[in-house]
Structure 1
Amino acid sequence: MNEEKRDVKANFDEFWDCVGDVVFSLVQSDYTSTDVFLSNFAFVKERYFSYNATLTPEDRIWLAENYLSDFVELLQCSTAIAAISATLEVITKPAPHSQIH
């Protein structure tokens, strides 16, 4: 394994060590506080987009071909962010022509 690809794996491990448990808690945990949930979501979202910006398409392919379980974890993170973002958008913005009674 060349040095550059070793860095891709090491960088992923560092990223996932930081956010992995929080990603799973966003999807699987019961939160008693909306503020804590939103704070955790913002944390994961910021870390994901910062990390994702460092990856090239070739890096993603290499990760998928050599460390499939890690690549799937990256997909789980992006899927959780997309699902939560879409849900928050729907529940925080009223539909057109709707009225609050």
Structure 2
Amino acid sequence: MRDIKQEFDQFWDGVSDIVISLIHSDYTSTDTFLSNFAFVKERYFKFNDTLSPEDRTWLAENHLPDFVELLQCSTAIAAISATLEHVTRPQAGTAIH
């Protein structure tokens, strides 16, 4: 039987410090920020792909703080992705003069 808690712990141990630094913007280099963001995003989706809806429910019911950390990670990824998309794509109705 899978140990979802252990799998989460391994995932979180590898990304938690970086997720926190992304949220708190502890960077002086855009390249480092983007590199760390790409690393966390890749690790998150790799881990997330292993979870079934039942796994997520189990984690939420049995280890709520860990489930919340997983949500915080996904929220940070979504927010950063949306912001990067917004600032790097031309907006409708705008022109550069």
Relative to the length of structure 2, the TM-score reads: 0.96
| Cα distance, 1:20 vs structure 2 | 0.5
Question: Could you say which residue in structure 2 is the equivalent of 1:97?
Answer: 93
Number of residue pairs the alignment of both structures matches:
97
| Cα distance, 1:98 vs structure 2 | 1.3
CA distance in 2, matches of 1:30, 1:63: 30
The structure 1 segments of at least 4 consecutive aligned residues displaced by more than 2 Å after TM superposition are: none
Q: Does 2:67 align with 1:71?
A: yes
Q: Does 2:7 align with 1:11?
A: yes
| Cα distance, 1:97 vs structure 2 | 2.9
2:36 pairs with one of 17, 35, 40: 40
The answer for unaligned runs of 5 or more in structure 1 is none
CA distance in 1, matches of 2:53, 2:92: 38
The answer for unaligned runs of 5 or more in structure 2 is none
How large is the Cα RMSD of the aligned pairs? Answer: 0.8
1:6-48: CA deviations, max 9, x gaps? Answer: x101100000000001001001133110000000000000000
**Identity of aligned pairs, percent?**
71
